[in-house]
Amino acid sequence: MPVVLAAAQPNIILFVIDDLGYADMSFLPFAAEDVQTPGIDRIAAKGTYFSNAYATAPICSPARAGLATGRYQQRWGNNWYGKGGLPATETTIAMELKELGYHSKKIGKNHMNNQKGDISHPLKHGFDEFFGFSDHTWDYRQLTHAAKNKAAHRGPLERNGEMVEFKDAYTTELFTDEAVEFIHRDFKGKPFFLHLSYNAVHHPVYVGHPKYEKKFGLKPFPQYDPSMGNYKKNWHSKWGRGKGHDPDLRKRYLATLACLDDGIAKILDTLQQQGLEKNTVIVFISDNGGAPYTMANNGPLKGNKYCEAEGGCRIPFLFSWPGHHEKKQSLPSLVSTMDIYPTLVELAGGRPHDKLDGKTILPLVKGEKSGDNHDYLIFSRGNRTKDYVVRSGDYKLRNCTSSRLFTVGEHYRYDDVQGDFLYNLKNDLGEQNNLYSSMPEKAGQMKKMFDQWCEQTLPAPKSKKPRNGGHKN
């Protein structure tokens, strides 16, 4: 990668929130009535909100791989949960920023499908430091050696390869305090890159912080105990997957979100106190759509995490650089989390490598460019003929063969049905009016986009070995 250092490289903070509801930020015109996020709102007040932004998948591990590399993760077979991971051959944001002189740290969740041999560990992909956990979820409070239970996703956290325990702690606050300590350091003139990946507001939101439970009028929820038997069958399937009926589930989510928002406010305050606000770029996203089993609110969108309806892939996306591009604005441009990679490298004075699928968003932010950042975006589970989405212009083409019913007690129900669908999202954001039969030419054009993408992106299909050494009987 050619290095062309900027005159004054900005510090960078990348906030990645876990399973945040699309309507769960109070600055939005369609915000849920019960939500207040003054911390997040401060980022929006001095930056750009992209209203047409997407993750690269509706679940976290593939989506995080696409974010980290600026590339479609399907290129190396990371098509779904438990697939593909993050190969050592892939270049990441942190690796490029390291070459540009940044000191970097990842805090919180590192979920790259937990590959054998720890290939996807942050310290092997450009980060100088890591504090957090490598799993799809983690208990917010059970963080001691005595509480360690792999099946229940609880126990000590990791600090640069060493396991450290915490008593009477809560992960959101631990991660916030770790970030504050990092910002306070003297890096001897070097800029910093902080990737703060909270596990909030991912389940188990019923593991609450006492202060916020009190604030929201909640009683502590009973905690899993190994004497109850199998965690997944006897506990998680009921309370983590929505089969149980907790009338306070939404409040528990909001309490978890309130603690997260206070943490973000504390970090913003620290930047101001240290005189760093004017030269710190902030990017804020959710890793994928809001989850049904925590009662995240996706507002006008249909569906949720785990499916390719808009509620699964469309995400909140904020970009802020106070003192440089402080204009509060909302842009409808089609953008992707893959665009974060080239944007940050460009801001740092580098030239991103030419194998990226992402494109810088800076011309959009500066008003030098209008319209979409991509002609189209693709969502795929790695199959060339089924379970895919094409987003282009105002339209969305979707093929779904893996239908699924999502229910959360009596709170929520969404049936993700099989079929071929075409929607004009400009007029029908809620995906209610299927145009597939009435606009066959449009559907055909978009299907060709998908076919072209498959040829350019997916690994070549493995040829089947002929039986009997290739000889016919």
Q: Tens digit of pLDDT for each residue in 298-357?
A: 999 999 999 999 999 999 999 999 988 878 999 999 999 999 999 999 999 999 988 999
> Is 60 annotated in the active site?
yes
Q: Which residues of the chain have pLDDT under 70?
A: 1-7, 113-118, 242, 463-473
Q: What pLDDT, on a 0 to 100 scale, did the predictor assign at position 211? A: 98
In angstroms, the CA 270 to CA 272 distance is 5
Is the distance from CB of 300 to CB of 23 less than 8 angstroms?
yes
In angstroms, the CA 61 to CA 66 distance is 9
Q: What pLDDT, on a 0 to 100 scale, did the predictor assign at position 471? A: 39
> Is 374 annotated in the active site?
no
- Name the residue among 271, 283, 261 with its Cα closest to residue 16: 283
Q: Is domain 378-457 given the CATH code 3.40.1710.10 in the classification?
A: no
Q: What pLDDT, on a 0 to 100 scale, did the predictor assign at position 466? A: 52
Q: What pLDDT, on a 0 to 100 scale, did the predictor assign at position 232? A: 84
Strands (E), 115-156: 129-133
Name the catalytic one among 111, 153, 236, 374: 111
Buried b (16+ CB within 10 A) or exposed e, 80-107: beebbbbbeebbbbbbbbbebbbbbbbb
Name the catalytic one among 60, 313, 400, 454: 60
Give SS3 for 343: helix
Write the CATH number of the domain with boundaries 11-374. Answer: 3.40.720.10
Fill in the DSSP letter of residue 290.
P
Contacts of 375 (CB under 8 A, 6+ apart): 392
The string of pLDDT tens digits covering residues 424-451 is 999 999 999 999 999 999 999 999 999 9
Strands (E), 181-315: 192-197, 280-286
pTM to 2 decimal places? 0.95
Where do the domains of the chain lie?
A: 11-374, 378-457
Give SS3 for 176: helix
Tokens of 157: 């956290």
